[in-house]
Structure 1
């Protein structure tokens, strides 16, 4: 995989993170996802974007693993890819608390790592 498709995947991840953050604004607890149709819509939309991020990283891991390893170890990336597997194959088991925790605690770190990867490509 050359730099152009890699850059496109990284840009897609960054755009997905931006959309998740926008959708997550106003969510103060995992209950906010479950208390209304609007909250459920946000939970679904965020879950889909998290799934897409995991898919993009899965593709990068296949072709650009050495690039990913420049900013984090394999275990870090595997956790995100495994989350994608859960969202894809066990959607009925999605836990609003887990999605809330990911949005509240993990997105900033991922965004910083993706921005570093973009810099390495330049």
Structure 2
């Protein structure tokens, strides 16, 4: 599907939000080597809670991209589990008390870098 210039601009804006959130999370977490490093101090808890909010922003941006492109863009990049990311956003938004910090830690340490690479590719493909 071809996207209008307006759609492309809106999607690129969402992709920029995604990249900014990924960068912020990675910067905040660079000195933490385990989940326990977060959970053992009040400051660590503040950092992980802030990162969770940024993960929510990522999920919102992906949801927004899907809405703006009628779910016809991100399906072309199946290496990322887009629906799972939106699902995590739903848990953060609606079931905050049930957040599993082990999952959050895994997402931060294992999945953000590949997500960043794909988001940069999507942005490049749109330009």
Q: TM-score range by the shorter chain?
A: over 0.9
Deviation at 1:42, TM superposition (A): 0.8
Q: Does 1:18 align with 2:15?
A: no
Q: Does 1:54 align with 2:47?
A: no
Deviation at 1:116, TM superposition (A): 0.8
Q: Please tell me the root mean square deviation across aligned C-alpha atoms, in Å.
A: 1.4
Q: Find the aligned partners of 2:67 and 2:78 in 1 and give their Cα distance.
A: 15
Aligned to 1:86: 91
Q: Find the aligned partners of 1:70 and 1:116 in 2 and give their Cα distance.
A: 11
TM-score normalised by the chain length of structure 2: 0.90
Residue deviations 1:83-111 (CA, integer Å, cap 9, x gap): 00001111111222111100111001111
Q: Does 1:66 align with 2:67?
A: no
Aligned to 1:104: 109
Unaligned segments of structure 1, at least 5 residues? none
Q: Find the aligned partners of 1:79 and 1:53 in 2 and give their Cα distance.
A: 12
Unaligned segments of structure 2, at least 5 residues? 1-5
Deviation at 1:121, TM superposition (A): 0.9
Q: Find the aligned partners of 1:116 and 1:30 in 2 and give their Cα distance.
A: 30
Q: Find the aligned partners of 1:96 and 1:27 in 2 and give their Cα distance.
A: 14
TM-score normalised by the chain length of structure 1: 0.93
Dislocated runs of 4+, deviation >6 Å: none
Equivalences, count: 121
